[in-house]
């Protein structure tokens, strides 16, 4: 939690004024029992009505001043807490964005969402409550004890015994519940993960009639979380009854001692009432303190979880370059080179790619084909440096990708991922991700090349057509064509199509490849596909088999000598095999 308090540094004034005004409110509150004692002893006991009215007015004044101080403190505390959570969310989101795919895969989506939302909110509540009550409650507790000593020393010793006993109960329960709240938040991660998986895969679940099994699985996780929350809630709930028992026992003892002291003539009746009021104040404040401790316990558990994310550093270090500072590219340099590249994912038992070695000239089209899980996507993900090679070198324009700044490398590459992802907003807003300052003409050119002009032109508003979240109001093929258009807007030097035309029919797929081939400039194209027809006319075809390069060459060369390619091709074109036979 200490490391997260750096996000409060812009709210130093608020963090000082909030507890200060709460202390002022507490100070005025401590004078109330003394005023009441004076009213009873001198006003009511002496029959002085004017004195009663005067002291009553003083009580009202103390209440109004205390209210103003309380509202002011609440305002500053809320401002500081909300500002803290805002800056913390910004920093946490920025940090997550800086992590490589390896760290994001390790953390998991559900736990990052929980930490960005629930955990930050708990930390915000903790900061708010600390600023409001952390100093006020102890101040009133010890202030009430000191004021009791000014009234009667013997009676005040009851306070001396009561306060440590109450503190032991409160802090003992806190120590028991703090680790349990961490487990509760981890359980919340599990429930959120199951919920997210079910909602994103609802069509698959219904297609296989697995609703009841998923409901049972969710209930099991949810019940486990509920039992955990109930257990820790019961422990926390012990705070109030135990503190009330101790306080009420102390009040009874105080009334008995006070009655004896009044009978002896040592103290007055008003002073006994003041002592009981101070004990009541201690009761109220310790109950508040107990609730505060529970809130702080939750906040600390959540803050530690947030801090754990901050402590995870990206395994990738990028070169720092001034914007626009790009190195000269040799005309003879290859567009992309893989020099004996190996890749093993974090926590994986074996390598996903082994000894990948090839070179691609500028302007060439490269097809990548292989069986499921052969490492096709892993290979192309290394070009924009989503993952780093565990051994070997990946080069772009003759330079190791690790020598580029992120902006420079990603500016060269247009990536169309395997899963078509569009964001909520207009078609134009989505396309501008490829190039922020793209003109209307450039957008339409990209749409036309991606074979999306026909359906975009039929939409209401055309480029201003509003896309729903995740592109749900578009078909799979339409989503894929718009993601391709988005990559083409930036006119990249290297275009990577990672099985991004799987939802397109053969005619549209062929038209798309022809349109890409006619683009201006020496664009190097990588096409990952399961269809042999999609890569048949590529300059080079890389055949992958279980993470290794089975062969590389043209369609005709591979069909003659590569058994893996033959198996894939003839499984899709059995008639050609029969014709040869």
Region for residue 162 given its phi and psi (left: phi exceeds 0; alpha: psi -120 to 50; beta: otherwise): alpha
CA distance 576 to 581: 9
At residue 322, does pLDDT exceed 60? no
Which one of 74-88, 107-121, 257-271, 491-505 scores highest in mean pLDDT? 74-88
User: Between these two residues, 403 and 173, which has the higher pLDDT value?
Assistant: 403
Contact 134, 21 (CB under 8 A): no
Position with higher pLDDT, 100 vs 127 = 127
Domains 3-311 and 336-580 share a fold: no
Is the per-residue pLDDT at 581 higher than 60? no
More confidently predicted of 331 and 72: 72
**Better-predicted residue by pLDDT, 346 or 220:** 220
CA–CA separation, 547 and 570 (whole Å): 22
Any alpha helices (H) in 99-201, and if so which ranges?
101-107, 109-114, 120-129, 136-151, 153-200
| Dist CA 275 CA 162 (whole Å) | 13
The CATH superfamily label for domain 336-580 reads: P-loop containing nucleotide triphosphate hydrolases (3.40.50.300)
Distance between start and end Cα atoms, the chain: 73
- Greatest Cα pair distance, the chain, in angstroms, is 124
Task: Please determine, for residue 511, whether its predicted confidence score (pLDDT) is greater than 50.
Answer: yes
CATH number of the domain at 3-311, out of 1.20.1560.10, 3.30.930.10, 3.40.50.620, 3.90.1150.10? 1.20.1560.10
Helix (H, G, I), strand (E, B) or coil at 537: coil
Q: For 303-349, what is the HEC assignment?
A: HHHHHHHHHCCCCCCCCCCCCCCCCCCCCCCCCEEEEEEEECCCCCC
Percentage of the chain modeled with pLDDT above 90: 18
Q: Is 465 helix (H, G, I), strand (E, B) or coil?
A: coil
Q: 23-27, 68-72, 256-260: which range is least confident on average?
A: 256-260
Query: Which residues touch 178 (CB under 8 Å, ≥6 apart)?
Result: 297, 300, 301
Least confident among 11-20, 183-192, 417-426, 527-536: 183-192
pTM of structure: 0.70
Q: How many CB atoms lie within 10 A of CB 48?
A: 14
**Which pLDDT tens digit goes with each residue over 47-88?**
788 888 888 898 899 889 989 998 999 999 999 999 999 999
Amino acid 346: pLDDT: 76
Q: Identify which of 152, 137, 166 has the alpha carbon closest to the alpha carbon of residue 29.
A: 137
Q: Is the pLDDT of residue 89 over 50?
A: yes
Can you give the residue ranges of every domain in the chain?
3-311, 336-580
The answer to whether residues 365 and 539 touch, using CB atoms and an 8 Å cutoff, is: yes
Q: How many CB atoms lie within 10 A of CB 449?
A: 21
3-state secondary structure of 185: helix
How many beta carbons lie within 10 A of that of residue 561, not counting itself?
10
The angle at the Cα of 511, spanning 505 to 513, to the nearest 5 degrees, equals 100
- Residue 456 phi/psi, 5° resolution? -65, -40
Using H for helix, E for strand and C for coil, what is the string for 351-380?
CCEEEEEEEECCCCEEEEEECCCCCHHHHH
Please tell me the predicted confidence (pLDDT) of residue 577.
65
Distance of CA 35 to the CA centre of its chain: 52
| pLDDT of res. 78 | 92
User: Could you give the dihedral angle defined by the CA atoms of residues 414, 420, 425 and 431, in that order, rounded to the nearest 10 degrees?
Assistant: 20
pLDDT confidence tier of residue 137, bands split at 50, 70 and 90: confident
Taking residues 352-364, what's their average pLDDT? 91
Q: What is the mean pLDDT of residues 546-553?
A: 91
Q: Per residue in 294-310, pLDDT tens?
A: 788 788 888 888 888 88
487-514: b or e for each residue (b if 16 or more CB lie within 10 Å)? bbbbbbbbbbbbbbbbebeeebbbebbe
Q: Mean pLDDT in the chain?
A: 85
Taking 3-state DSSP, the helix, strand and coil percentages for the chain, each rounded to the nearest 5, stand at 65, 10, 25
DSSP of 61-100: HHHHHHHHHHHHHHHHHHHHHHHHHHHHHHHHHHHHHHS-
**Tally of CB atoms within 10 A around 10:** 12
Residue listed under structure tokens 């095999």: 577
549 vs 572, more confident: 549
Which pLDDT score, from 0 to 100, does residue 323 have? 47
Split at pLDDT 50, 70, 90, the class of 270 is confident
The proportion of the chain whose per-residue pLDDT surpasses 70, expressed as a percent, equals: 97
* Mean pLDDT in residue range 105-115: 80
């Amino acid at each position: 939690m200490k490391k997260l308090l750096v996000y409060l540094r812009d709210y130093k004034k608020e963090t000082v004024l909030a507890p200060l005004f709460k202390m002022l409110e507490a100070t005025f509150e401590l004078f109330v029992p003394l005023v009441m004692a004076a009213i009873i002893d001198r006003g009511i006991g002496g029959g002085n009505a004017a004195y009663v009215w005067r002291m009553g007015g003083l009580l009202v004044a103390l209440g109004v001043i205390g209210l103003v101080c309380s509202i002011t403190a609440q305002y500053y505390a809320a401002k500081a807490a909300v500002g803290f959570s805002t800056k913390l969310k910004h920093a946490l989101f920025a940090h997550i964005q800086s992590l490589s795919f390896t760290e994001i895969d390790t953390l998991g989506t559900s736990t990052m969402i929980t930490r960005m939302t629930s955990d930050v909110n708990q930390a915000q509540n903790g900061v708010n409550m600390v600023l409001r009550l952390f100093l006020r409650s102890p101040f009133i507790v010890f202030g009430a004890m000191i004021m009791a000593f000014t009234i009667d020393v013997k009676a005040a010793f009851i306070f001396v015994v009561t306060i440590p006993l109450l503190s032991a109960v409160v802090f003992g329960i806190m120590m028991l519940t703090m680790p349990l709240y961490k487990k509760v938040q981890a359980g919340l991660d599990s429930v959120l993960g199951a919920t997210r998986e079910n909602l994103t895969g609802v069509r698959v679940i219904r297609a296989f009639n697995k609703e009841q099994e998923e409901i049972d699985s969710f209930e099991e996780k949810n019940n486990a979380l509920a039992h955990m929350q109930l257990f820790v809630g019961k422990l926390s709930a012990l705070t109030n009854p135990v503190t009330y028992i101790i306080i009420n026992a102390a009040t009874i003892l105080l009334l008995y001692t006070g009655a004896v002291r009044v009978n002896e003539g040592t103290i007055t009746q008003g002073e006994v009432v003041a002592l009981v009021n101070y004990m009541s104040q201690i009761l109220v404040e310790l109950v508040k303190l107990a609730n505060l401790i529970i809130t702080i316990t939750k906040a600390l558990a959540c803050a530690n979880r947030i801090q754990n994310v901050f402590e995870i550093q990206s395994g990738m270090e990028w070169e720092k370059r001034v914007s626009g500072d790009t190195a000269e590219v040799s005309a003879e340099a290859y567009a992309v080179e893989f020099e004996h590249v190996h890749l093993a994912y974090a926590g994986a038992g074996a390598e996903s790619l082994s000894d990948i070695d090839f070179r691609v000239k500028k302007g060439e089209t490269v097809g990548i084909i292989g069986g499921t899980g052969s490492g096709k996507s892993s290979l192309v993900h290394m070009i924009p440096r989503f993952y780093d090679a565990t051994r070997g070198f990946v080069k772009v324009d003759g330079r190791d990708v690790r020598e580029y700044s992120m902006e420079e490398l990603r500016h060269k590459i247009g990536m169309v991922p395997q899963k078509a992802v569009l964001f909520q907003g207009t078609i134009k807003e989505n396309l501008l991700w490829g190039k922020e300052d793209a003109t209307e003409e450039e957008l339409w050119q990209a749409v036309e090349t991606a074979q999306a002009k026909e359906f975009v032109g039929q939409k209401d508003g055309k480029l201003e057509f509003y896309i729903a979240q995740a592109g749900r109001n578009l078909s799979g093929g339409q989503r894929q064509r718009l993601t391709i258009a988005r990559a083409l807007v930036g006119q990249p030097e290297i275009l990577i199509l990672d099985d991004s035309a799987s939802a397109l029919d053969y005619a549209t797929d062929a038209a798309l490849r022809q349109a890409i081939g006619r683009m201006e400039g020496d664009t190097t194209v990588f096409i990952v596909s399961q269809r042999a027809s999609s890569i048949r006319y590529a300059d080079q075809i890389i055949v992958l088999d279980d993470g290794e390069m089975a062969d590389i060459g043209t369609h005709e060369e591979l069909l003659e000598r590569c058994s893996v390619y033959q198996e894939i091709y003839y499984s899709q074109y059995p008639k050609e095999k029969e014709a040869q036979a």
